[in-house]
Structure 1
Amino acid sequence: MTILIPSYEPDQRLLALIRNLKEVSDASILVVDDGSGENYRDIFESARQEGCTVLSHRVNQGKGSALKTGFDYVRRKGEKDGVVCADSDGQHLPGDILRIAEAVREHRSHIVLGSRQFTGKVPLRSRFGNSVTRMVYATATGRPIQDTQTGLRGYSSDMLEWLCEVPGERFEYEMNMLLEAPEAGYELVEVPIETVYLEENKSSHFRPLADSARIYFPFLKFCTSSGFAALLDFSLLIALQWLTSNLLVSVIAARLFSSVFNFTVNRRFVFSAGEGSAIRKSLPRYFSLVVVILLLNYAILHVLYESIGIPLVPAKLATEAFLFLFSYGMQRKFVY
């Protein structure tokens, strides 16, 4: 088993973690210096003296890039037992790291997540950030998990090539990995670990605005695409209902035009489905989903607008809010 520690501008807690791991395990320890610079050379040299392999980036490239460097090294080395990734700031306990390693051996072809329970005193930004990403992940995949932002994760050796191909170079990489795992055939298993925050997590290099934007970018693109499609659908519905006074015809025509727009944008910019055979594969799936959503759209609108008597505008808004979440999950999982 290899313990992989990506590290950027570490302090003595990195060395303390290495020494504590050496006391309880004979696992290989691989440290990736993500362009920390000359001021941190002594710490990484001390890590080498402790028996660690240290790889270095000349400039800072991001946590995702550091993890990929480590995965590629382990893959080329021919590791058969697996890899456990831990952060360098002392917030992962050696006992928990070893529990993840054992879970990797027990759950082959599973991504093992060290799942914090967020009990006790937890910094607000950490609690809020995990709550939001947990909601986004559950919406995107239909599979809720407790801790989407944990840095303590374990992988079997047959995942290494795939791990090097997952998009993302910074903090978004770990979220992208979770989003793409089901399609790649990898299940998730969570192992409870201690929740440890030192000095209100001040050592974290996570940038709340910039890195959050990277994490949520796929979902934000979908929101933008769906927003324009919904605006087109909404405008056409109101206009057609005024012209024809026929709700069914208005719903079908508005949904048809907005669906063509939405498919084109999502294929090219949101889910990057590509050309050729990818279009032939995704097109029938997408419009099958359109039919399902169309039926749901009409059924819900009929109940809210014609049966209950809610005005058309608020009835339409309520319907679209529900169908938005349903559509994202289905497109992510089945269409593209």
Structure 2
Amino acid sequence: MIVLIPAYEPDERMHELVDALDTDGFQTVVVDDGSGAAYSPHFAKAARRGATVLRQPRNEGKARALRHGLAYIAERWPGEDVVTADSDGQHRPSDIAAVADATVGGDALVLGGRSFTGEVPVRSRLGNAVSRWLFRLSGGAVHDTQTGLRGIPAALITDVVAVSGERFAWEMNVLLDFTRRGIPIREVPIETVYLDHNASSHFRPLRDSLDVLRPLLRYVLVSFGSFLLDVAVLQLLYAVTGDLLLSAVGARVLSAAVNFTLNRSFVFRDGSSGGVRRQLGRYAALALALLAGGYASMALFVAWGVPVLWAKLLADAAVYTCGFLAQRGYVFRRGEARRTPGFVEKRVDTAKRA
């Protein structure tokens, strides 16, 4: 089991963690994320205490530091599981050990989930609440979406490294990607620790939380525009023909064509590399299913005396979430090809054990 610690401008708390992990028998890899010459003594000290230190010449963000470390571990210690932990002392050695125990021999990404009880900084509580709520809208069910304490079985390292994204957004992207592809995610409870009101954190709660969920926000924008088009065409056709079925089908065909084009090119760009015929076939099947469900609901509302416009609003509200989840997980899902982990950058500087 390897413990991977990305570090940017660390202090003595990193040394305390490295010492504790060494005592517990863990191999530790620390990634210096461009902290600068002033912090070199900290990393040299960590190396003397048994850690393998990888250096990035400039600050590139937590995502690149973690991918760098994971790729190195996969090449240096193939078959070893990994636990990622923060360098600021907010992950207790006992919690790291608990996540490690839950990771060994498993096939799931293991998260150290905090309960957020007690004195939690407002920005941290708000950021986690917002990201948790938005993540659930996208189909996930994780309590602590922003935890940096994660257990990664060796078999999943390539999947994790292959996920795109920068800074803290990448960690959320991993959860979104795994949820989308059906890779299991587990949570084990850990202590909620915020030292000095989390002053050492480089996380931007609202900006980073919203940034990682851009696909969902894009989907909302495109869906709303398509919905307005659908409603307008439905009202026009119904006023001209008086035929509810013909109007519903005609409006949906036009709005679906626009929706498919925008979703493929703007919303689900990660999955746009698949064959357009296959995606179009899946989308058509989904559109027919949603049209049938929406029309049946709308017809029922109209039969009850609900005006066509309100019947349309109520029916479409019922199928909105189903449409997003189906498009993300089925129509525009990412391919199964995985990136090889062997891309350790040549600029890596490894400080060997003293």
The TM-score, its normalising length taken from structure 2, stands at: 0.87
- Decide whether the 8 Å contact of 2:22 with 2:50 is kept in 1: no
State, as a whole percentage, how many aligned pairs show the same letter. Answer: 42
Give the AA of the match of 1:216.
L
- The 5 Å alignment of 1:140-179 reads 140-141=138-139, 143-179=140-176
Deviations 1:246-275 (A, max 9, x none): 222221111111111111111122212335
Cα deviation, residue 298, structure 1: 1.5
Q: The residue matched to 2:5 in structure 1 has which SS?
A: strand
Aligned to 1:83: 82
Give the AA of the match of 2:323.
S
In structure 2, the gaps of 5 or more residues are 333-354
Match 2:299 to one of 275, 298, 302: 302
Tell whether 2:98 aligns with 1:99: yes
Aligned to 2:215: 218
Match 2:316 to one of 307, 320, 326: 320
Distance 2:63 2:18 in 1: 21
- Decide whether the 8 Å contact of 1:101 with 1:154 is kept in 2: yes
Q: The residue matched to 1:40 in structure 2 has which SS?
A: helix
Distance 1:132 1:284 in 2: 35
Tell whether 2:65 aligns with 1:61: no
Q: 1:30 to 1:181 in 2, by over 3 A?
A: same
Q: 1:284 to 1:126 in 2, by over 3 A?
A: same
Cα deviation, residue 182, structure 1: 4.3
Aligned to 1:270: 267
- Decide whether the 8 Å contact of 2:64 with 2:166 is kept in 1: yes
Q: The residue matched to 1:190 in structure 2 has which SS?
A: strand
Q: The residue matched to 2:212 in structure 1 has which SS?
A: helix
Distance 2:64 2:154 in 1: 18
Tell whether 2:39 aligns with 1:46: no
- The 5 Å alignment of 1:222-241 reads 222-241=219-238
Aligned to 1:20: 20
Tell whether 2:298 aligns with 1:280: no
Distance 2:194 2:300 in 1: 50
Cα deviation, residue 317, structure 1: 3.1
Q: The residue matched to 1:146 in structure 2 has which SS?
A: coil
Cα deviation, residue 123, structure 1: 2.3
The TM-score, its normalising length taken from structure 1, stands at: 0.92
Distance 1:304 1:200 in 2: 53
Give the aligned CA root-mean-square deviation in angstroms. Answer: 1.9
Deviations 1:90-121 (A, max 9, x none): 111100101111111142x2101111122222
In structure 1, the gaps of 5 or more residues are none
Question: Hey, which of these two has a bigger chunk of helix by percent?
Answer: 1
Deviations 1:164-186 (A, max 9, x none): 21111211111111121245552
Give the AA of the match of 2:330.
F
Question: Aligned residues, how many?
Answer: 331
